[in-house]
A and B are shown apart, each in its own frame.
Chain A
Amino acid sequence: DAGVIQSPRHEVTEMGQEVTLRCKPISGHDYLFWYRQTMMRGLELLIYFNNNVPIDDSGMPEDRFSAKMPNASFSTLKIQPSEPRDSAVYFCASSGGGGNEQFFGPGTRLTVL
């Protein structure tokens, strides 16, 4: 079975550019999470969805970040405009049920120059 799929795996961009990260959760999972991981701050929850509806976006750092989930099999995280401090690994995870194990995708390593 395919796990959580993320694209791109690596992204290098210049400050001010728009960045779009993509995620396909595991089929049948009703929860989708976006995390950011850095050495300094560890793994931070940015936003999560239940049945395609955003439930908690309190972790989104600022208005430059936005996330959508137009259907059960696709989600995007967009940063516009990007800044060097956004450089991190962004993980998408999904779970079947709120209290169940989360399965992580391989992550997108973002570098903003």
Chain B
Amino acid sequence: RKEVEQDPGPFNVPEGATVAFNCTYSNSASQSFFWYRQDCRKEPKLLMSVYSSGNEDGRFTAQLNRASQYISLLIRDSKLSDSATYLCAVIGTDSWGKFQFGAGTQVVVTP
């Protein structure tokens, strides 16, 4: 089993709709969590960190569920420009500094 797993998608979302997807992790000692966005043929860029209490940044909301060992990302009022691949990243205390990345979830926002 992979340490970090994501549904590859694609999630086809009408413009203006809401989309949500999860990322599960296997290491219960994981301490830090992030969502990255990667556009086609570009480098990953940090979208947001994920805090224990959950956090929101504009139309984006990230949640952490430690009991079930997953993080989630919700995008409200989807824009065409939200089309990208979203990668989750996890760090465990037993491997501090070493990110484990998921394979990514592709989101396609359609007009």
Task: Please list the residues of chain A having a beta carbon within 8 angstroms of any beta carbon in chain B.
Answer: 31, 33, 42-43, 45, 48, 50, 55-56, 91, 95, 98-99, 101-107
Contacts and interface: CB of A to CB of B under 8 A. Distances in A.
A101 B49 contact: yes
16 contacts: A42-B102, A42-B104, A43-B101, A43-B103, A45-B99, A48-B98, A50-B97, A55-B97, A56-B95, A56-B98, A91-B44, A95-B97, A99-B31, A101-B46, A104-B44, A106-B43
Nearest to A33: B99
A106 B44 CA distance: 9
Contacts of A106: 42-43
A106 B103 CA distance: 18
A43 B34 CA distance: 15
B72 interface: no
A50 B91 CA distance: 15
Interface string B32-49: 101000000011111001
- Tell me the dominant secondary structure on chain A's binding face: strand
B34 A101 contact: yes
A50 B96 CA distance: 11
Nearest to A40: B103
B87 interface: yes
A65 to B, nearest CB: 17
Complex A-B, nearest 8 residue pairs according to Cβ-Cβ distance, in ascending order: A98-B97, A104-B43, A42-B103, A98-B96, A43-B101, A99-B32, A101-B46, A104-B44
Nearest to B103: A42
B95 A107 contact: no
Contact of A99 (B44, B96, B101, B104): B96
Contacts of A48: 97-98
Given A98-B91, A101-B34, A101-B49, A45 B44 contact: no
B39 to A, nearest CB: 12
Contacts of A56: 95, 98
Contact of A102 (B42, B95, B99, B103): B99
A103 B104 CA distance: 17
A31 B97 contact: yes
